[in-house]
Structure 1
Amino acid sequence: MPDLVITNAYIYVDRGWEIPDGWIAVTGGRVAAVGASSEPLPEPVAESTTVINAGGKLVTPGLINTHHHMFQNLTRSFSPVVNSDLFTWLTTLYPIWSRIDDEAVHASTWVAIAELLLGGCTLSSDHMYVHPSPNLLDAQVSAARELGFRFYANRGSMTRSVKDGGLPPDVVVQDHDTIMADSERVVDAFHDSSPGAMTRVALAPCAPFTVTEELMRSTAEMAEKRNLRLHSHLAEDRDELTYCAEVYGCTPVEYFERVGWMHDRSWVAHFIFPSVEEARRMGEAGVGVSHCPSSNMLICGGAADIRKLRSFGTPVSLGCDGSASTDHGSMWMEAHTALLLNRFMNGPTAITAREVLDAATRGGARCLGWEDETGHLTPGACADLVIWTATPEAMAGALSDPVEAWLRCGPQHADTTIVAGRVLVSEGRLAHPGHSDILTTHRRIATELQNV
């Protein structure tokens, strides 16, 4: 018998499969079955079954965030850098971030995940690349587990500090051997490759201008040996092109290929400034791209051309990026912005709401190597899903296409967010009782960091 049944919903099951008036049954954290309201459930509903009447609302797979820096919500909308370019923004904030510890990382991760859940996200990666104190990834995993969230921890790293010609101060970088040893440790402790896993780990040297070539190669070798995924920033800023030319004698993409990352277990953030031929080679190799439209518009002065990338076969997903650059953690907002930005760049036929939703679900799962279980609601998939809502005024007159209306008529937010069959957001509110205490802790830490 099902544990949970959602009825009377418009269900976006997967690309090319929508049920205008249907139900979805969940058993043991998995989608057991979906069907039209005119069809009977395959099993009877017991007294213990939770039944949610979605009342004609839209149900989609949970959105998947493939690029984030959760610790950065401690310096959100930080006034000294709100109008800065990327490199100025980084060099100003690095000294502040150098003082974070495990309490700060736990609180910022907890708040970030809560914000993502309220915005309809059920799986997020996070690129934790500053390590001024040990075991910060442990604090992140602890927060995700407390909330019951599906989490892809990225063991980020930096080795090239200011004294080596990089941007970060010495206190936030680590040496090669320390990084490799801790990467082995966190993979052993937290990476779960089994079906239905709640926590996985990727290896994620930060960017070409913050790590050595030796670390990029060593990380690629470890990932190959242990069948792990790789993540990094790439071709994000024009200054990066200049840096790579001066330091490595090549473009960022040529460098990426040279260090052994050009394969389908890698995904990169931003990817704004490749040549057409480089973008084609990346697509043919199956390297995924996390498109972060809000951050790109606020800081970088450019954005990935995802229509072109998709035409090359590139797996394209969406990411919030850092909460100190985007200043929000809503995947609906990123999806909405992706629709607007890419139509602005390439015309009204450049991308549709369904293509954006596909990037935010199937595309995200593909970048994370998890497409067999997440990003869709086909029977057997993980029961990670969202029931969406908006104000009656916002939806008034939107009668013909619920999916287009979802992205055009907003803002939309999660009425109900379900991860692994568990209701984590109900009636637009987080179900976890510790929300207020964590926010108090977060405010104290953020105040201490920003007031020095």
Structure 2
Amino acid sequence: MIDILICDAHLYLDRDWEIAGGWIAIEKNRVHSAGGPGQPMPAAARIINARGRLVTPGLVNAHHHMFQNLTRAYAPVTRNGLFSWLETLYPLWTGLDGEAVYLSSYISMVELLLGGCTTSTDHMYVHPRPYLMDAGFAAARDIGFRFLATRGCMTRSQENGGLPPAAVVQDEDTIMADCERVVARFHDPAPGAMTRVALGPVSLFSASEQIMRDCLAMAERDDLRLHTHLAEDVEEDDYSLSIYGCTPTEHFERMGWATPRAWIAHYIYPSTSEAERLIRAGVGMVQCPSSNMMIGNGSADAMDLRERGMNVGLGTNGSATTDMACMWMEARNAMLLGRIRNGPASMVARDALDMATRGGAACLGWDDEIGHLRPGACADLVIWQSSPVALAGAMTDPVEAWLRYGPMVAGTTIVNGQVLVEDGRPLQSGLADALHRHAREARRIQKLD
């Protein structure tokens, strides 16, 4: 018998497969089958009537910094550009410890579930204390969230030309030893994995050439993904030219990172030829629309990169820039940015939904199992809901309407065949306690006590 059957739904199963008034069956942690009106439905232990609502694959967050929700909407942050923003917050993040990382990860994951996200990365690059990665994996385990954590790092402090204080910087040997430990303990390459690990020096202006090469060598040896920020700010160009005598993309290529195992965040300021080279190399890119608009430093032309052959996903980025972690909002903002940039006919809701599902999964090297709902895929999906007032008048195209009215929230979120959000409510029994403890940690980090 099937475990869960969702019926009377508009199913968006994949970029080229939709069923109006359809049903989808989940057996254990996999999609078993799907069908349309008139096709016999299998017997199921539990039946969920979607009442005509849209069902999509769970959204994939391809770039995030979960610890940053401890400084969400931090009032004293200056808005004079990326570098100034980082220099303001780095001293606060020196206070991170295992408790803070666990709680920020836990709250991030619940927040993402409510916004329809079922798989997320976390680029954890601030390490003032050892073994902080373990806390994020513990939160994912406790919630049942699908998680790809990037073991990030910084080697260049203010003392040798970087931005962060020495307290959050590590030497290359310490970093690589912990990379080996984290991969051995948490990376699961098997089908249906709940935890995986990538390697990710945070950026060329905070990481040495040695650590870039060391991470590349380990990734090639152990078949891991690689992640970093690239061409996010015009100041990055100036820095790269002064230190390396080349552009950020050229430095990325010199380090050997122009490979299909790499995906990059933001990529706002490449030249046309630079972007073309990375497209040919198979590098993926993540647009973070809300963060880019909040900081005001521009945003990538996602549709142009997609049309030229690049895998483009979406990300929430850290909660200290976006100030929220909602993948529905990222999809809506991506669509609106695309239309402002290239005209009203340039981007529709299905483009944004594809970026938020298949696109993000491809960046993570995981689109064989997540980002779609074809039979055999991981059972990660969302039944979307909104208020009757917001829904009034939406009669023709549920997918297009998904980003035109709103706000939309996850009525039901299922990860690995388990219901984690129901009737718009998170089901985590430890949430109230986590929120209380998170408030305590946020006050400590922000030095309000």
How far 1:286 sits from its partner (Å)?
Answer: 1.1
Q: CA deviation at 1:234?
A: 0.2
Deviations 1:15-55 (A, max 9, x none): 111000010000011000000131002x433xxx1110000
After the TM superposition, which residues 290-369 of structure 1 pair with which residues of structure 2 at under 5 Å, given as runs?
290-369=286-365
Q: Amino acid of the residue matched to residue 68 of structure 1?
A: H
Residues 63 and 286 in structure 2, CA contact (< 8 A), matched pair in contact too: yes
Tell me the equivalent position of 1:371. Answer: 367
Is the 1:232–1:268 Cα contact (8 Å) retained in structure 2? yes
Contact 1:236 1:300 survives alignment (8 Å): no
Partner amino acid, structure 1, of 2:20 = P
* Residue type of the alignment partner of 2:235: D
Kept in 2, the 8 Å contact 1:7–1:37? The answer is: no
Please say if residues 416 and 428 of structure 1, whose CA atoms lie closer than 8 Å, have aligned partners that are also in contact.
Answer: yes
Q: CA-to-partner distance for each residue in 1:133-164, whole Å, 9 max, x for gaps?
A: 01111000000010000000100000000011
- State the TM-score, normalizing by the size of structure 2: 0.99
**1:83 corresponds to which residue?**
79
Counterpart amino acid of residue 16 in structure 1:
D
Whether the aligned pair in 1 keeps the contact of 2:12 and 2:54 (CA below 8 Å) is yes
> Does the 8 Å CA contact 2:3/2:26 hold for their aligned counterparts?
yes
Q: Counterparts of 2:258 and 2:79 in 1: how far apart (Å)?
A: 34
Question: For the residues of structure 1 that align with 2:294 and 2:31, how far apart are their CA atoms?
Answer: 39
Q: Does 1:145 align with 2:145?
A: no
Written as runs of structure 1 = structure 2, the 5 A alignment for 1:408-447 is: 408-447=404-443
1:263-278 to 2 correspondences below 5 Å: 263-278=259-274
* Equivalent position of 1:289 in the other structure: 285
Which amino acid in 2 is paired with 1:230?
L
Structure 2 unaligned spans of 5+: none
1:37-76 matched pairs, under 5 angstroms: 37-41=37-41, 43-45=42-44, 49-76=45-72
Q: Report the counterpart of residue 165 of structure 1 in structure 2.
A: 161
Corresponding residue SS for 1:357:
helix
Q: Is the 8 A contact 2:156 2:208 kept in 1?
A: yes
Which segments of 5 or more consecutive residues in structure 1 lack a partner in the other structure? none
Q: Identity of aligned pairs, percent?
A: 58
CA distance in 2, matches of 1:50, 1:369: 32
**TM-score, normalised by the number of residues in structure 1:** 0.98
> In the alignment, what sits opposite 2:178?
182
Q: Deviations 1:343-375 (Å, cap 9, x if unpaired)?
A: 111111121100110000000110000011000
Residue 392 (structure 2) aligned to one of 391, 396, 416:
396
The yes-or-no answer on 1:30 pairing with 2:24 is: no
Matched AA of 1:21: G
**Residues 157-207 of structure 1 deviation map (CA, whole Å, 9 limit, x = unaligned):** 000000110000000000000000100100000000000000000001000
CA contact (8 A) 1:284 1:312 kept: no
SS in 1 for 2:2: coil
Residue 98 of structure 1: aligned partner: 94
Secondary structure at the counterpart of residue 198 of structure 2: strand
| Distance apart, 1:83 and its partner CA | 2.8
Q: Give runs of ≥4 in structure 1 deviating > 2 Å.
A: none
**More deviation in 59-68 or 306-315?**
306-315
Distance 2:43 2:298 in 1: 53
Alignment partners' CA distance in 1, 2:83 and 2:346: 31
Distance 2:206 2:143 in 1: 32
Task: Name the residue aligned to 2:238.
Answer: 242
CA–CA distance in 1 between the matches of 2:337 and 2:367? 26
CA distance in 1, matches of 2:200, 2:148: 11
**Letter of the 2:342 counterpart:** N
Q: What is the count of residue pairs matched by the alignment?
A: 448
CA-to-partner distance for each residue in 1:394-444, whole Å, 9 max, x for gaps? 111110100000011011000000001100000001111111000000001
1:13 is the counterpart of 2:42: no
**1:76 CA displacement:** 0.4
Equivalent position to 1:260, from 235, 245, 256: 256
